Amino acid sequence: MNSPSASVALAAHLALLSSISFGGFPSVLPDVHNFVTANGWVTDREFANFFAVSQVMPGPNMILMMSFIGLKVGGIPGAMASAFATFGPPCLMYYTAHRLWDRFREMPWPQIMRRGLTPLTIGLVIAGGYVMARAADSGWPSALVTAAAVGLMLATRLNPLWILVTGGALGGLGLL
Amino acid sequence: MSETIEAISPAEQVTLGALFFGFLKVSLLGFGGGLVWARRIVVDQKRWLDDQEFAEILTLCQFMPGPNIVGITLCVGSRLRGPLGAVSAVAGFILLPWTVGLALGGLCLRYAHLAVLQNVLSGLSAAAAGLMIATGIRLLMPHRGRRTALLFAALAFAGMALTKLPLLIVLLGLAPLSITVTGIASARAP
């Protein structure tokens, strides 16, 4: 599917989402998932694959994941447009805020706004994980892997890389 | 390394190239936890900023939308070398890792129809989803005593995960409420 108008629509939607992605990009995953699957651009399985590949790459993995979607929708130009839409608008906001920071950091309302937004962003991150687990779902064994990953991450100081590798290995052995 | 000179005028010591490669390193090493490496390289290794300055930038970036680590990169670059520094640092963070990642990942995804690879990817994404849920739970722990915080986290979760509403709608609906409640609570607090 190499439609320029689809690439533009995707980039525009990502630009909107990145501008409101409080708590980072994981919090917008459910919205992106709904948007691209409803448009028929990406299947559940592909979405889960993009997520998996981007998580094992070093560097800016959410930008990469959005670029894989762009790549599917509109080739290399689509990938570049998605990448820019993901980091461009927040960068402009960061730059402006950094410039103005000295003026508003002593005021109480940024603190109150941040404290008010924090619980929402946390809920959104968990929703992101939940939606990804559903997209990757291939029955109870994969749900078990997700649950085990949650438990190991919370209960041990294991490097998350090993948890990912173990998940991938279990899958490769055909156990999921 | 002459630390005295760096301590006197750190800004003049930092070249755009140093920013580019410094944040390239953060990007490549920052697997799963870019923040730790950003602090280690910016504060401990390069001594571009002290802990206080870094914490201030972190506070600002956590308040903003977008990938926080990119924001930190941008602010450090901007702090040290102005707009060009910001561009160099962000380019270092994104450009090469993105190009390599897109090429390698694209190649890998081209063969995703192969049964073995598909199985590996399914396992990976199931585990990665778990890591994301765990990250959220860990973030929630410090707030577990605040009933309103838990309520709003639950509402945001339900809005996105269960009702499949657009994010904009969920935020427009919940953010003003949550901020108002926080404002009232902090006004009542002594």
Model confidence pLDDT, tens digit, residues A62-108: 999 999 999 999 999 999 999 999 999 999 998 988 888 777 767 77
In a domain, A66, yes or no: yes
What is the percent of chain B where pLDDT is above 90? 50
Contacts of B167 in chain A (CB under 8 A): 17, 20, 27-28, 30-31, 124
CA distance B122 to A5: 31
CA distance A120 to B95: 31
Q: Give the residue-averaged pLDDT of A7-24.
A: 92
In a domain, A39, yes or no: yes
pLDDT of residue A13: 96
In a domain, A71, yes or no: yes
CA distance B79 to B11: 8
Residues A64 and B105: beta-carbon distance below 8 Å = yes
A115: left (phi over 0), alpha (psi -120 to 50) or beta: alpha
The CA-based angle A50-B21-A92, given to 5 degrees, is 65
In a domain, A85, yes or no: yes
Contact map slice: B 35-54 vs A, CB within 8 A = none
Question: Which is it for the CA torsion A47, A48, A49, A50, positive or negative?
Answer: positive
Contacts of A105 in chain B (CB under 8 A): 56, 60
Inter-chain CB proximity B122 and A68 less than 8 Å: no
pLDDT of residue A118: 85
Contacts of B149 in chain A (CB under 8 A): 118-119
What is the percent of chain A where pLDDT is above 70? 98
CA dihedral B23, B29, B30, B31 (to 10 degrees): 150
Look at chain A and report how many structural domains it folds into: 1
What is the percent of chain B where pLDDT is above 70? 90
pLDDT of residue B8: 43
Inter-chain CB proximity B125 and A136 less than 8 Å: yes
Q: Does B93 touch chain A (CB under 8 A)?
A: yes
In a domain, A91, yes or no: yes
Inter-chain CB proximity A24 and B130 less than 8 Å: no
Inter-chain CB proximity A153 and B70 less than 8 Å: no
Inter-chain CB proximity A122 and B139 less than 8 Å: yes
Question: Which is it for the CA torsion B148, B150, B152, B158, positive or negative?
Answer: negative
Three-state DSSP class for residue A22: strand
In a domain, A143, yes or no: no
Measured between CA atoms, how close is A19 to chain B, in angstroms?
6
pLDDT of residue B1: 39
Taking all residues of chain A, what is their mean pLDDT, rounded to a whole number?
Answer: 89
Residues B31-79 have pLDDT tens digits of: 655 777 788 889 988 999 998 888 888 878 877 888 888 999 999 999 9
Q: Does B16 touch chain A (CB under 8 A)?
A: no
Taking all residues of chain B, what is their mean pLDDT, rounded to a whole number?
Answer: 86
The radius of gyration of chain B's CA atoms, rounded to the nearest angstrom, is: 21
Q: How many CB atoms lie within 10 A of CB B181?
A: 17
pLDDT of residue B32: 54
Three-state DSSP class for residue A92: helix
ipTM of model over 0.90 = no
In a domain, A145, yes or no: no
Q: Give the residue-averaged pLDDT of B133-160.
A: 91
Q: Does B79 touch chain A (CB under 8 A)?
A: yes
In a domain, A139, yes or no: no
pLDDT(B9) > 60: no
Q: How many CB atoms lie within 10 A of CB B35?
A: 15
Domain containing A92: what range? 4-106
CA distance B164 to A62: 20
Q: Give the residue-averaged pLDDT of B111-132.
A: 90
Measured between CA atoms, how close is B6 to chain A, in angstroms?
23
Q: Give the residue-averaged pLDDT of B13-33.
A: 85
pLDDT of residue B182: 86
Q: Does B87 touch chain A (CB under 8 A)?
A: no
Q: Which of B94, B126, B143 sits opposite A167 (nearest CB)?
A: B126
